[in-house]
Amino acid sequence: REEEVEKLREEEVEELREEEVEKLREEEVEELREEELEKLREEEVEELREEEVEELREEEVEKLREEEVEELREEEVEKLREEEVEELREEEVEELREEEVE
């Protein structure tokens, strides 16, 4: 009878150990899942930051292009004005020569 009780105790102890081991495994698995989720979140946040940085770069490049185009337009307009002024001067000089000749 004592042996039977002892055997039952040992079985109960073994069963409790197995339950504890299983519980620890489940906790470890859950911890690993949480770590993996956190890692994925961090990767996603980093990816979003990189996309935002790239978008900002593209916007800045576009802004610089637009500024350069505007600058080139202004330079072209100034050049055309100077050419027009020069042409008008030449016409005026020609008219004055003609008047002198007459």
Rounded mean pLDDT of 15-28?
A: 97
pTM of the model: 0.53
Q: Compute the average pLDDT of residues 25-33.
A: 98
What gap in Å lies between CA 46 and CA 84, rounded to an integer?
Answer: 57
pLDDT of residue 74: 98
Tokens, residue 101? 């000749």
9-21 average pLDDT score: 96
> Looking at residue 65, what is its pLDDT?
98
Q: Compute CA distances 9 → 4, 13, 16, 21, whole Å.
A: 9, 6, 10, 18
Secondary structure element (H or E) that encloses residue 48, with its range: helix 2-101
pLDDT of residue 102 exceeding 80, the answer is: no
Position 2 pLDDT exceeds 90: no
pLDDT digits (tens, 9 = 90+) for 36-90: 999 999 999 999 999 999 999 999 999 999 999 999 999 999 999 999 999 999 9
Per-residue pLDDT, 53: 98
| SS3 assignment for 67-86 | HHHHHHHHHHHHHHHHHHHH
What is the torsional sign of CA 94, 100, 101, 102? positive
